[in-house]
Amino acid sequence: MHSSSVSPASGAASNASANDLEAVARKGGKLKRMAVRIPTYMADIRENPAWLPMFLLARTIPGRRAHWLTAKKSNGAIDNLPTIFMGVNAETAVDALNRDGIFPDLQLPADITQEISAFGHATPCFGNFDRRIEFTASDHRATEDRLGRPILSGHHFERALDCPAVLTVQRDPLLSEIARRYLGAQAQLITTRTWWSFPTKASEADRSLASLDKYHFDLDDWRMLKFFFYLVDVDQGTGPHVFVRGSHNKRRMKHQLTLLVGHPADEIIDYYGKDSPITLTGKAGSGFVEDPFGFHMGTVATEKPRLMMEIGFGVSKPSRRRFHGEPVLR
């Protein structure tokens, strides 16, 4: 996995009127992003009332620190079991996670990578989280033309679990060991997904729903850890992932006292420093693990589609009503 520092786009409005218009547009965009998520939030509250206090308090550093005190130390029961990840030391990974919020040195075996990649290419996915839009990745452009709308993402949802190689990664004891050492013995599997990100012209609302091109943090649980793996070669034109080192354990006060999880790049860079973001590129099979409370974003693919897999751990029960966080659409 290769990484490099990134800087925010520069530029300033030429006059006060332009700044005012930009501020209005930004506020409108935030309101639209919140409106898109309201059906999902309401469904989460109905299914699990305990979700609401987590949603309100887990964004604050005091609330998070209080909950981290409930973490139970791993008993080491799964230490040293056979793993497909050669040369990875769990303690080293956890030290990096504690320090930076990310450990970028994971690698899938070639045969596992090839099997999941072939599955992702051959298996129909659902466009923009909508199960009514079904297509294979090779038919992406034709599907856009037929529907007359951009398709930014394609998720396989529960179909990912039909791939034996996906299950091999999901069940690997090294991932569980890292999660238990970092999150505590309560750590449990909560997400397994594979999805495409496609080069296309998409609206800000579509990019927001797909969590692309905007710094944000995940707030699905009090404590989380996510393992990501590229299933195709990923360079700057393939929509690489970006993570802000150190942002997992400190937070600007204004970012704790808002219901928004996404924030402008200039605010993030000003607070955490221009050298704090790293862009993760790499060959198919390369991977990383991060604390998703840290600010991160998936950038929009501009030249080639990106196929990716996520294995996520948390400390609360996952949603049974939706497949691993599938949003509720209007």
What is the predicted pLDDT for the residue at 322? Answer: 66
What is the predicted pLDDT for the residue at 46? Answer: 80
pLDDT in tens, 240-270: 999 999 999 999 998 898 888 888 888 999 9
What is the predicted pLDDT for the residue at 210? Answer: 56
d(CA 114, CA 240): 20
d(CA 321, CA 39): 13
What is the predicted pLDDT for the residue at 325? Answer: 67
Closest to 246 in 3D by CA, of 295, 209, 183:
295
Closest to 291 in 3D by CA, of 183, 199, 198:
183
What is the predicted pLDDT for the residue at 147? Answer: 95
pLDDT in tens, 310-319: 999 999 887 7
What is the predicted pLDDT for the residue at 17? Answer: 40
The structure's pTM equals: 0.86
> What are the tokens at 26?
């930004």
Q: Where are the alpha helices (DSSP H) in 164-243?
A: 164-170, 173-183, 204-209
CA quadruple 308, 312, 318, 322: dihedral, nearest 10? 0
What is the predicted pLDDT for the residue at 206? Answer: 64
> Which stretches of the chain drop beneath a pLDDT of 70?
4-36, 77, 203-213, 321-325, 330
What is the predicted pLDDT for the residue at 50? Answer: 85
CA distances from 88 to 61, 109, 246 (A): 30, 13, 22
In terms of phi and psi (left: phi > 0; alpha: psi -120 to 50; beta: otherwise), the region of 82 is beta
Q: Where are the alpha helices (DSSP H) in the chain?
A: 16-47, 51-57, 61-68, 90-100, 110-122, 140-147, 164-170, 173-183, 204-209, 253-256, 265-272
What is the CATH number assigned to the segment(s) 2-8+15-314? 2.60.120.620
H/E stretch holding 292: none
d(CA 68, CA 330): 35
